[in-house]
Structure 1
């Protein structure tokens, strides 16, 4: 059997989604998805903001 570490296959994603559905229920999943999306976008904007500030300091 081939073991792949760090690779997420479609089968693994389906299993994780089924477990999440059982644990949180269908009403909570959209809320969790929105919260996760907001967190990721805030993280991206924070990392991009730090890079822009560093570039401004270098140019000055």
Structure 2
């Protein structure tokens, strides 16, 4: 029986390299910067929206 603690261990450098290689194979080198830009702008929009929501809640009080 395989212990579940094996799967809960920290991610090592070899696992990170493997994940990067798989992402490169799936999306290709030209598509990755576009995906990262989209991810960054999505995170920025989420932060802006959450800040606006907090400010609106404070104004109501």
The answer, yes or no, to whether TM exceeds 0.5 is yes
Q: TM-score, normalised by structure 1?
A: 0.75
Structure with larger Rg? 2
Count of aligned positions: 56
* Structure 2 segments unaligned to the other structure (5+ residues): none
Residues in 2 aligned to 1:48 and 1:19: alpha-carbon distance in whole angstroms: 35
Matching residue within 16, 23, 40 for 2:43: 40
**CA distance in 1 between partners of 2:12 and 2:51 (Å):** 31
Task: Say which of 1, 13, 18 aligns to 1:15.
Answer: 18
- What is the TM-score of this pair, normalised by structure 2? 0.74
Gaps of 5+ in 1: none
RMSD of Structure 2 on Structure 1 (CA): 2.0
Equivalent-residue separation in structure 2 for 1:10 and 1:29 (angstroms)? 22
